[in-house]
Each structure stands twice: as structure tokens, then as C-alpha cells.
Structure 1
Amino acid sequence: MDLEDQLPSDDGDTADAASPSPGRSVCHAGCGRPSRVCLCPHLPPSPLPTSTTVVILHHPHALRRNPLSTLPLLARCLANLHLVPGRRLASSSSPALLPPPSPSGPVLFLYPSSAAADLATWCRATPPAARARPTLLLLDGTWRQAKEMRAASGAFLASLGTVPVALPVDGDSMFESELVVKKEPRKGCLSTMEAVARALRMLEPEGKGEEIEEVMVGVVRAMVAFQMEHVKHLTVAPRVKMRKKKELKREEVRSNAELN
């Protein structure tokens, strides 16, 4: 998202140390990454149970075209997680795709906007009984894709009575910290996995949320360490300047005139 979003992460078509290629040894029984950058030692022995139901609508290209996607790692970290592929949520498709929220729990749509309440403030202002067993809904794709997914899902989100919330921007984010995987468009940008971790710290019962956040952020930190080591040894070829057809046409006319 290229505006004010902290949620989806990871866009781009850059090559990654985690992208398997023919001949590479891959950890098929675990994280699915190349063996030399295996993250299994950093993952929990089994997915962590949470009282919060996490639902992520992810663009169909999020996994296929994005080697830095944190969705596969999220699936290994959280038991109460539902990954929904698609470009929008609608009433016609939601029964098959979107798990129903808890009868008494709120549905929180984590997507910063002018209408979004700060999640920490919302938690402090909402009685524990009114925010028990919430559903946390996020979008995952490129910055542009997430904006389009939000617009396309607007009517359905309104019908769910979702509460728009956003994470506080305190500077401790993927954008400025050692957790940076790639250059983000603005301060406060988080990968999907880090956004979920920060949110669960506030939504889960006291003590448990901090433990879950620590485990999840530890996984991302290990992933970033592998990525930074890969980038450090990467030789980037100079980028060829793209020239417009009009410019080439003018040069051709000028050259012909000089010859005549």
C-alpha cells in the first residue's frame, strides 16, 4: 500500500536468499525454505493458540510472486489463522471463505485510515468482556493491491460492522529497525507478520500477548538476518536507462537531418 498502510508488507520482484531454485536443498518437512536459510529452529514447535481469530485476505499474487512474503511463516506460528486468497470479500463468497466471527467478539479491521482508531487506545477504552475473542482482519498484497482490495471489500466490511483500527506509529517498525526486509514507502510500515504480532500483544490476555509477539518477531528477525547477509554479498548491475519512444524519434529525425 502506498498511502498510510502498515499492514501488508512485502512487495516487489527482487530475488531472495529464501527463493528455492533447481538443485537447491530445501527444507520440505518444515519451513519450505532453502536448507541454508532454514528458519525451523526459530519457529515454535507447534502453532501457537490464540483467543484472537486472525483472518488475512491475501492477493493471489502474494505468495507466487513475492519471495519475501511472511504468510507461510505466519501459518507456522499461529493455530487460529485463516488465509483467504482473493481480491475482495463479498457477501456471496464469505460463507465459504471467511470464518464467522465469535458471536460476542468484535471484528477489527487493521488498516490505517483517517477513520481508524489507535488499537492501543481502543483496547484501553473497551471493557474486557466487550473485546474478548475478537476477529482480526487484515489485507496482504502490494501497497497498490491492498488499497484496491479494501475498496472492493468496502460494502462487505460495512455489513460485518467492523471496527477500523490502526497500530500506533512509534518509530519501532520494520521501516527504521533492524527488522527491515526492504525499503518501505513511509515511516510506520510493517510486514504482515510484524503487524499481526504487534496487534496480538494488545489483544491477547496480559502476559500471553507479549510472549506471542516475542516468538513471532524473533522469526522475522531471523529471516531478515538471512536476507541482509544475502544482500551484503549481492552485486547489482547498473540499471539501464529507459528511453521514451518520442525521445528516440527526435534523435532519429535529428540524425537524418544532419546526414542530409
Structure 2
Amino acid sequence: MDLDFPLSSASDDDGGDTPTPPGRAICHAGCGRPSRVCLCPHIPRSPLHTSTTVVVLHHPHALHRNPLSTLPLLARCLANLHLLPGWRLRPSSTPLIPPPSPNPVLLLFPSPAASDLASWCRSTPPSARSNPILLILDGTWKQAKEMHAASLPFLSSFAIPVSLPVDSGVDGDSMFESELVVKKEPHKGCVSTMEAVARALRLLEPEGSGAEIEETMVRVLRAMVAFQSEHLQHRTMKPRVKMRKKKDIKREEEMKRNA
């Protein structure tokens, strides 16, 4: 596994709820999570080898401010994985994708210009899509859109925009509606970084191995979501204070004065 940055201890979360308190038993030799939510039985004993090179540009806050990040698990599942911290790709970001690349470079992001990944695989001869490089943008959806726009000046001349099916007209699922959703998604079809990579590898890997790789990764994600869902079901949730805009508050104050 080729990591371009060290995994931070900030990823040691209790299924995504609260930071690990002092004294809690941690699985230091394996997944790095609290022992009672250890995922080692679900993680492959050795990272999976793929013909696809997966490059993840992750927002600098993706790990430190997002305890639900699936990147630490993804890093333990794949051998041919490169994680790049930053908010845009440029020629100096990584030697993996110097334009023009000898291998197809696929930018997986649901942009208007993106074609369906499955359709691209069907229409492209095997020789033209062998050993591809899969680019993933990881962050909140707002961050990912900004990262996509900032990286396009470099990527637009050689990267092939592709996407998984997303329906922007339908609300996305939550973890209580899907066993693979880590947090509430904005639209139907939006998935976590780990699930997106798993679905893409099913299509990109040589026939026969893609489905097995996908199922192995999905099994890890399914276990993580089960731990998180169980935790939330037994947690007393405080009502969130409704945020109001200043102009609304000012209008209410004026109405009171006029009354």
C-alpha cells in the first residue's frame, strides 16, 4: 500500500460518534478503532491488489474534522492506493498522472460532462481501458465541487470524466434506510468514498475479480455502518438549536417595536 501521507490518529473513532476518551482499549495492532467496535475481522488480512491505480485527493479536513471518513478503512483494503492531501490537483501533485498518461485516467465525479462509468466500460475496448488510473475527490459535497472546479484546468486536457448513477431529483438515503450509508446523502445515488471506489472497481477490474473485490470492501463498510447505527439507536439525541438569519431576527424585533 503506497500512502502519500501518514494515517492520523484522528481516524480512531468509535463508529463516528465521539473522540476516543483516555483509557479506552484501542486496537493498535489492526484497524486502530476502539476494541469494542474493532473491524479487523471484516478487513482483508492483506490489502487487495488491483490493476486499477486509485488516487484519492482528499480535502485537508477530511480526516481531522470528519470522524465518519472511510479513508482509513479504504487504505487498509487496497494495495494500489495513493492518498493526496490537498484541495486541487496540479502537475506537481503526483508523478502518477503526468499528462499525457500512458493509461486512461478516469475522474469519478457526477459532473454534467461525466458519462456513466458502466457505459464507458462497455464502449471502450479492453486494451484501451487496461490498468486505468481512477481519480477520486474526497470531502463534503461542497468541498468536492470546489476541488473539482479547481482541478479542472489541469485535468480537463486528458482526464475522462465518469460517474456512477446519481438522481439529483431524489433525496439520498440515511444509515437507517441503507446498510451502506455512513451519513445522510444529499441525493439518491450519492455514496461514501469507499463505496464509490468499490462500485467502480467492480466495473474496472478484469472480469471475475471485480465483483469479489467489491464485496470484500462492501463487507467492511457494512460492518462500520452497523456499529454506527447501533450506537445512535441507544444515544439520547438533544434537539438541535434552529439557526436563524440576522435579517429574520431584525424583522421580528421591528415587528415587536411596532406592536
For the aligned residue pairs, the C-alpha RMSD in angstroms reads 2.7
| SS at 2:66 equivalent | coil
| SS at 1:40 equivalent | coil
The question of whether the paired residues in 2 share the 8 Å contact of 1:104 and 1:132 is answered with no
1:12 corresponds in structure 2 to none
The verdict on how the C-alpha distance between 1:30 and 1:146 changes in structure 2, with shifts beyond 3 A counting, is same
1:49 corresponds in structure 2 to 49
The verdict on how the C-alpha distance between 1:21 and 1:257 changes in structure 2, with shifts beyond 3 A counting, is same
Q: Which has the larger radius of gyration?
A: 1
| SS at 1:124 equivalent | helix
The verdict on how the C-alpha distance between 1:241 and 1:191 changes in structure 2, with shifts beyond 3 A counting, is closer
Q: How many residues align?
A: 240
CA distance in 2: counterparts of 1:250 and 1:203, whole angstroms:
56
1:7 corresponds in structure 2 to none
2:8 corresponds in structure 1 to none
CA distance in 1: counterparts of 2:142 and 2:196, whole angstroms:
18
CA distance in 2: counterparts of 1:125 and 1:247, whole angstroms:
54
The verdict on how the C-alpha distance between 1:245 and 1:89 changes in structure 2, with shifts beyond 3 A counting, is closer
Q: Normalized against structure 1, the TM-score is what?
A: 0.83
CA distance in 2: counterparts of 1:152 and 1:107, whole angstroms:
17
Partner letter of residue 27 of structure 1? C
Percentage of identical aligned residues: 70
CA distance in 2: counterparts of 1:191 and 1:163, whole angstroms:
21
The question of whether the paired residues in 2 share the 8 Å contact of 1:39 and 1:223 is answered with yes
Between 105-114 and 130-139, report the one with greater CA deviation: 105-114
The verdict on how the C-alpha distance between 1:124 and 1:25 changes in structure 2, with shifts beyond 3 A counting, is same
1:223 corresponds in structure 2 to 224
The question of whether the paired residues in 1 share the 8 Å contact of 2:113 and 2:161 is answered with yes
Partner letter of residue 63 of structure 1? L
| SS at 1:227 equivalent | helix
Q: Which fold has the larger relative contact order, with Cα–Cα distance below 8 Å and residues 6 or more apart in sequence?
A: 1
The question of whether the paired residues in 1 share the 8 Å contact of 2:97 and 2:105 is answered with no
| SS at 1:32 equivalent | coil
Q: Normalized against structure 2, the TM-score is what?
A: 0.84
Partner letter of residue 64 of structure 2? R
CA distance in 2: counterparts of 1:134 and 1:248, whole angstroms:
54
91, 97, 117: which one aligns with 1:100: 97
Partner letter of residue 39 of structure 1? L
1:59 corresponds in structure 2 to 59
CA distance in 2: counterparts of 1:174 and 1:213, whole angstroms:
20
CA distance in 1: counterparts of 2:28 and 2:189, whole angstroms:
34
The question of whether the paired residues in 1 share the 8 Å contact of 2:110 and 2:166 is answered with no
Runs of 4+ in 1 over 6 A off after TM superposition: 250-258
